Structure 1
C-alpha cells in the first residue's frame, strides 16, 4: 500500500477544532440549500453542473493519491473525497498484507491515526449523497422493530416434532424457543471466548478475509452504513468443531433440531453445495432481501444477540417486497438500498403488504425460513448465529425444479461438480426412490397445470371442453380463479 499519509498532513493544524454536530464535517441535507446564503458547492467549478451522485461515480475511478490531491483543492471536494465507500473500494481492491483497523476505511487505508484526520467545517455544503449514508448509519432501529401488528407476527413455539413439521409447518416461518439452549455453542460462545481461541483464524466477511481479531476490532469501532457481515461457510473445519446429536457425538458444538428432518442434499455426500455458515456482526449488519439458494429451506439460530426479520412468501400472484426489483426470469434480484435506507423508505408500506410477517429472534432461539420466501434480517445488537440450508421432503419437488430448469442460477457447488441436477437425481433414485417418484409426480402435475392455465388464457377454454366445446369467455381470459395455485404461466 502506498505511503501517502504525508499528503494529508497539511491539515494537521485543523485537528482539535470543535467537531460539528451531526455529520462529522457538518454536511447537511440538500433541502437546506433552499434558504442558505452560502453554498460551498460553487467552489468546485464546472463540476457544479453535475449531480452529486455522478461526481462520486467519477471519483471511484481514482486511486488514493489522486483522491487526496483533489480533496486539497477546496472544502467541498474534501467532503466528497471523504466518502467512505471510495476508500472501502480502494482497500478491498488492494488490501495490504498487514494493517490495523483505525475506525474508518479512509484512515485504515492511509494508515492515519484518528488524531491525524483533519476535521474541516463544511457546514455550508448541502448534499443528500454525502449526508444520507451518515444519517442511515446512525438511525435508531427501534421504530422499525417494535409495535409489530399481531397479524404480522411470526409464530413462536417451544419445539416441534418431525411429524408436526412435515404435516403443518414446512411452508411457514416460525421461531423455536428451546432447542438451541441445549447446544454447547449457546452455553459457551461469546465474542470474547471465540476471540481467545480463534484470534488468528481467518474468516470471510463479505469481500475480505481477516483474522478474527481484526474483524472484532472493526465490529466494535466502525460507522459504516452497511457494516461488514462475517459470513463464513468453512467455519466448522477452521474451528475444528464437531456436529451431531449428543447421543451420537458427545462433544458436539451444535446439531440441527430434529423437527427439520433429513436434509435430502446429503445424498450428494461431499459433492453437496455449501450448506452451513457462521454469522457474526455488529448492530445494523445483516442481509438485504433475498431468497435462499437452490430452492432450499433454512434455519438460523441466534447464539448471542438478537435479530429482526421481515419476510414475504414468493408467488407468481404476488410482487416482490416493496423496494425489490426482479428480472423476468428471476435470475437477477436488485435491492439497490442499504438495509437502513429500505427501512426508512419502504418499511411502512411493507408492513401493510399482504403476506408480510415480522419477528425478533432472540438469543437462544432458532428461526425457520421456508423454501422460496423473501427475507431481510438485521442485527439489533452485536450477534453470533449459525445457519444451515436444507431440503426437507416437502420441498424436494421445488429443489428438483430449480436444479433442472434454472441451471444458470444454481450456486454453491464446487467447480468440479458437473451437472449437479443429474447427480442429485441419480443419488436420490438409489437412496430414496419413493420420495423421488413422488416429487416427480408433483412436478408433472404442476407442468400440466401450467399448460391448462396457458390454454385458458389463449383459447378461453379448458382442455376438457375440447375443440368443439362452447365457451362464452372467448379471446383472452386473465382470471385464474381462487384455487390458491402458485404455478407460473410460461
Structure 2
C-alpha cells in the first residue's frame, strides 16, 4: 500500500489534469446521479455504481491539512494503536462473526475495522462450501447465511461515518474497489496483431522466437461466440457447480454476486473441469489451428489441468504470474474485454518479488493497486512491457516464461488453454525435473513423477523426437557460441588484428 507522501503525489498529479468527464451512460441508468457521484475531492474517477462504504475513512495525508490533530483511529484502538492497520486486521481475522459484531460496538475505531469487508468475505468463503447468495455486502451475506430468518434487507447498508479517521491502508482498499481504470492505463496497445496468417508463419514469427501476438478472426466459427450469453449459460449449466476461488458455486448464484460486487479483488470463476461438468460447453468451441499440437495429451487422464473457462465482473483478473509447468498458453475472449500487460522472462515486473526458487511470488494486493503504484514507472524502462486490450473474438498467445497481468474491463467470458508443442518440449521437461519440482509443478496429483511419466509417454508416442530436438538445440547453441568474423581475425595474443594476405 502507498503511504501519505505517495498518495499526495498521486492526488496533486490528478488535480493538474482536466476533471474526468461524467459518463452520460450512467446518467441515463440513474438520472438522480450527479457528476459528484463519479469523482472524489482528490480528482480520482470513481465507478458509476454507488460507491461502497468507507465509513468516512480518509488518507493519512489529509491529517496534515486538518484543523484538528485528532485521529480517531488511534484513540479508539487504545493501547494497540501502535500496531499497523494490517496487523490489526490480521488479529481481527482470528475472530468469528459474533465476536466481530460485539467488538464493533466498543469504539468508533473498532467499528470501522470490524466492518472491513474482506474480514466478512473470508468468513463467508470459509463457512459456505456449497456456495452463497450474495446480499449486497459480505457482512450481510454472512448474516443471511448464519440466520436465514433475519431479513438483512431491512438493515441500512451504509452505516455511519466516523469523523477524523485517517488510514492509508483502509482508504486505499476502498479506493481500489471503486476506482475506474484510467485512460492512460488503457491507451497503449503495442502488441503485434495478425489476421489470417498460416501456421508456419505463426511458428516462425512468434512461437519459435517466444514472442506474444494477438490473433484476430480465429473464433469466427465458434458456436460460443453466438450462444454464450448469461441466459444460455445458466440454462445449459443448471445446477452444475464451478470453482470460484476456494469454493464451488452454481453459475446463476455467481452472476448474482458479479452484478453486485464492488471490491478490491472481485472473485472470478476459473474452472479446469468445466467441459467434464457440462460437456456442451466443450463442444461450443475448438482449439485454434495454431495451437493444435499439445504434447501433454499423451498423458491421457493423467495430464495436468490445461483448460479453463473464465467468467468474471469488471475489475476481476489475475495479478502478475508465469503460467504453470513452463507451458505456453492462448486466451480467447468470448464476451467482454481484457487489459493485458506482459513482461519477457528476463524482466521481473516492478512491485513483484519472486522467491529464489520461483515457488512463491509476492505482489501488490490488487491489480488496481499495481496500476496506481507501479505502472507509470514502466514507461521509462528500456524493456517496456507488451500491452493490449483483447476484445471479444480475439485470441492472445502468451509464450512460456512471460510474466503477465490480466484485468477484466467489463463483465467477461473467456476460454484459455495451456499447451506444450515441440518448440517448447525441452523447456517443459527441464522444468519438470528441477530439484524442487514438487513445489513448482501444478495441476496434477503426482508432482514428483510427472517428468518421468511425460518423457516416457513422449518416447512411446513420438520415438526419437526428444533426441532430435536435443541435437537441434545443441547445434543452435554451438552456432551462437561460434566466434564472429571479426573475432576470428583478431589476434588474441597481441590484442590487435592479423591479416592473411
Q: TM-score, normalised by structure 1?
A: 0.81
User: 1:43: Cα distance to partner?
Assistant: 2.7
Q: Is the 8 A contact 1:404 1:421 kept in 2?
A: yes
The runs of 5 or more residues in structure 1 that have no matched partner are: 1-18, 244-251, 453-463, 473-490
Matches within 5 A, 1:33-112: 33-36=63-66, 37=68, 38-41=70-73, 42-95=75-128, 99-111=132-144
The 3 A distance-change label for structure 1 pair 213 and 439 is same
User: 1:350: Cα distance to partner?
Assistant: 2.4
Measured against aligned partners, the alpha-carbon deviations of 1:295-327 in whole angstroms (never above 9, x if no partner) come to 100000000000000001102xx4x11111012
The 3 A distance-change label for structure 1 pair 124 and 155 is same
In the alignment, the residues of structure 1 paired with residue 183 and residue 60 of structure 2 have an alpha-carbon distance, to the nearest angstrom, of 25
1:334 to 325, 339, 362: 362
The 3 A distance-change label for structure 1 pair 253 and 161 is same
The 3 A distance-change label for structure 1 pair 22 and 361 is closer
Matches within 5 A, 1:107-186: 107-111=140-144, 113-117=152-156, 119-148=159-188, 153-170=190-207, 171-186=210-225
> In the alignment, does 2:421 pair up with 1:388?
no
**Equivalent position of 2:468 in the other structure:** 438
The runs of 5 or more residues in structure 2 that have no matched partner are: 1-36, 38-49, 145-150, 482-487, 496-501
**Equivalent position of 1:397 in the other structure:** 426
In the alignment, the residues of structure 2 paired with residue 355 and residue 43 of structure 1 have an alpha-carbon distance, to the nearest angstrom, of 46
User: 1:213: Cα distance to partner?
Assistant: 1.2
CA RMSD in angstroms, aligned pairs only: 2.6
Measured against aligned partners, the alpha-carbon deviations of 1:220-257 in whole angstroms (never above 9, x if no partner) come to 001210100100000001112375xxxxxxxx311111
Q: Is the 8 A contact 2:325 2:428 kept in 1?
A: yes
User: 1:128: Cα distance to partner?
Assistant: 1.5
**Equivalent position of 1:346 in the other structure:** 374
Q: Is the 8 A contact 1:181 1:365 kept in 2?
A: no
**Equivalent position of 1:379 in the other structure:** 408
**Equivalent position of 1:478 in the other structure:** none
Q: Is the 8 A contact 1:82 1:106 kept in 2?
A: yes
In the alignment, the residues of structure 2 paired with residue 97 and residue 167 of structure 1 have an alpha-carbon distance, to the nearest angstrom, of 48
**Equivalent position of 1:247 in the other structure:** none
Matches within 5 A, 1:288-437: 288-315=319-346, 318=347, 320-353=348-381, 354-405=383-434, 406-415=436-445, 419-437=449-467
Q: How many residues align?
A: 424
User: 1:331: Cα distance to partner?
Assistant: 2.2
User: 1:123: Cα distance to partner?
Assistant: 3.4
In the alignment, the residues of structure 1 paired with residue 71 and residue 361 of structure 2 have an alpha-carbon distance, to the nearest angstrom, of 39
Measured against aligned partners, the alpha-carbon deviations of 1:455-481 in whole angstroms (never above 9, x if no partner) come to xxxxxxxxx9xxxx9799xxxxxxxxx
Q: Secondary structure at the match of 1:92?
A: helix
Q: Is the 8 A contact 1:155 1:175 kept in 2?
A: yes
In the alignment, the residues of structure 2 paired with residue 370 and residue 237 of structure 1 have an alpha-carbon distance, to the nearest angstrom, of 27
User: 1:345: Cα distance to partner?
Assistant: 0.3
In the alignment, the residues of structure 2 paired with residue 282 and residue 64 of structure 1 have an alpha-carbon distance, to the nearest angstrom, of 27
